Amino acid sequence: MTGRFGSAAAAIVLCGTLLSGQAKTTGTLDIYVVDVEGGNATLAVSPSGESLLIDSGNGGAGAVRDATRILEATKAAGLSKIDYLIITHWHGDHYGGLVELAARIPIAHFIDHGPNIQPNQATDDFLRETYPTLYSKGTHSVAKVGDKLGIKGFDVRVVTSAGHVLSSPLSGAGAANPYCANFKPGDNNAEDPQSVGSLITFGSFRAIHLGDLTKNKEFELMCPANRVGTVDVLLGLHHGQDTSNSEVLVHALRPRVAVMNNGTRKGGLPEVMRTVYTSPRFEDLWQIHFSVLSGQEYTVPGLFIANWIDDQPAAMPINPVPLPAPGPNTPPAPVHDGAAHWIKVSAQQDGTFTVTNARNGFSKIYGRK
Ligand SMILES: [Zn+2]
Ligand SMILES: [Zn+2]
């Protein structure tokens, strides 16, 4: 009897070991879209464990929370360091958690679009006093359109940076974009259009993350000819804000899947939901949060949403809730400081990919098309 129990226990341990090491033996490119409360932190890991992190979450009171959540993703991926970090632009929801993150895991290469161009005292102080000490432990470079990162295991191509966009089409792209004729310019602040945009390819799988690139830059990138081509997965979507996500971008990229890094009261706006769901070839939208700005009318099934809020409301309103005007009396957005969950995309070289909601384990396979 003892011997049998012994071998059973050994078998269980062995099984556990195999499972925990699975990420490195599956041969997939794994992309974790981490919940950083309406900011951005997206981690891509090659089969051999080389990694790219796009943005580092919020600063201020959210910095430790977001750095800890990013660290959980690096642990799940078996990483002991981050090889490449791209800060898409100098807004606090994209670089704010960097000091706390860098204190927890080494970062080898720091990449950004160059100087901040939307004056902000805290950001300017950070760039002058703090950032150089962080990247002095690694290397620092400014992304130029057309650059290819030196990362192994998958390709990362810079398609936008510092207000510049690809001037000539990538291989296989360059067709006229039929959506340009109906383009309507949008509003933007100064920094969002500076975003470093990255096209990620792994075999025949393609995904794109454009930071918070706004509509007018989307037009420059995609019109009159689509210089990018198509993608399988559209990442980020500027939190689902309607200052981005024009048809010239979304419909021409023809994503099968989008993963939106929205907050509890940030993004998921009706116009964006309409654009995404009328996009040719589109199958599913996965969201980091329920957003009260969507209401039930514009929300995907909960299966596709990774995070609730700490205090569950009795019911989700059916109509989208209008965004309250900013000011001292604006009620705070619903809080989510508790356990957080990511959306994970696992892609194979043949273009097949699986998306998983880490909260409920719901998973869907997108076969070759
Ligand atoms: Zn959350
Ligand atoms: Zn943002």
pLDDT at res. 244: 98
Question: Does residue 340 have a pLDDT over 80?
Answer: yes
Rounded to an integer, the average pLDDT of 193-222 is 98
Predicted pLDDT of residue 233: 99
Rounded to the nearest whole angstrom, what is the distance from the C-alpha of residue 48 to the centroid of ligand 2? Answer: 30
91 Cα to the center of ligand 2, angstroms: 7
Closest C-alpha among 269, 279, 281 to residue 244? 269
Task: For residue 334, give the ligand nearest its CA.
Answer: 1
Nearest bound ligand to the CA of residue 214: 2
Residue 282 CA to ligand 2 centre (angstroms): 24
Comparison of pLDDT for 18 and 211, the residue scoring more: 211
Distance 290 CA to ligand 1 centre (A): 9
**Nearest ligand (C-alpha, residue 87):** 2
339 CA from centroid of ligand 1 (Å): 8
**Structural contact between residues 224 and 203, judged by C-beta atoms closer than 8 angstroms:** no
For residue 12, pLDDT beyond 60:
no
Angle at the Cα of 343 from the Cα atoms of 27 and 324, rounded to 5 degrees: 155
Q: Quickly state the pLDDT bin for 315 (edges 50, 70, 90).
A: confident
Instruction: Tell me if 364 sits within 8 A of 284, measured CB to CB.
Output: yes
First to last CA, the chain: 53
Task: Kindly report, residue by residue over 114-127, the tens digit of the pLDDT.
Answer: 999 999 999 999 99
Q: What ligand is nearest to the CA atom of residue 263?
A: 1
263 Cα–ligand 1 center, Å: 7
pLDDT band at 326 (very low <50, low <70, confident <90, very high): confident
| pLDDT tens per residue, range 176-188 | 999 999 999 999 9
Given a cut of 90, is residue 68 above it in pLDDT? yes
| Single-letter residue type at 254 | R
Prediction pTM value: 0.92
* In contact, 45 and 342? CB cutoff 8 Å: no
Ligand nearest to the CA of 288: 1
> Is the confidence at residue 65, as pLDDT, over 90?
yes
Report how far ligand 2's centroid is from the alpha carbon of 90 (Å). 9
Structural tokens at position 205:
């799988």
241 CA → ligand 1 middle, Å: 17
pLDDT of 85 reads 98
Judged by its nearest atom, the ligand closest to the C-alpha of residue 238 is 2
Question: What pLDDT shows up at residue 269?
Answer: 96
Q: What would the mean pLDDT of 106-111 be, rounded to a whole number?
A: 98
- Confidence class of residue 26 from pLDDT cuts 50, 70 and 90? low
Q: How far is the CA of 40 from the centre of ligand 2 (A)?
A: 7
Pairing of strands 82-86, 107-112: parallel
Q: Average pLDDT of 123-141?
A: 98
Beta pairing partners, 82: 107
- How large is the average pLDDT for residues 296-318? 92
**Residue 257 pLDDT exceeds 80:** yes
In this predicted structure, the answer to whether residue 13 has a pLDDT above a threshold of 70 is no
Average pLDDT over every residue of 7-17? 40
Half-sphere exposure of 165 (CA within 13 A, CB side): 20
User: Which ligand is in closest contact with the Cα of 236?
Assistant: 2
Q: Which ligand is nearest to the CA of 358?
A: 1
pLDDT of residue 314: 85
Token duo for residue 92: 């606090």
CA of 39 relative to ligand 1 center, distance in Å? 10
How far are the Cα atoms of 101, 118, 313 from residue 139, in angstroms, in the given order?
16, 25, 46
Asked if pLDDT for residue 23 goes beyond 60, the answer is no
**Entry field: residues in the chain:** 369
**94-98, 124-128, 250-254, 288-292, range with the lowest pLDDT:** 288-292
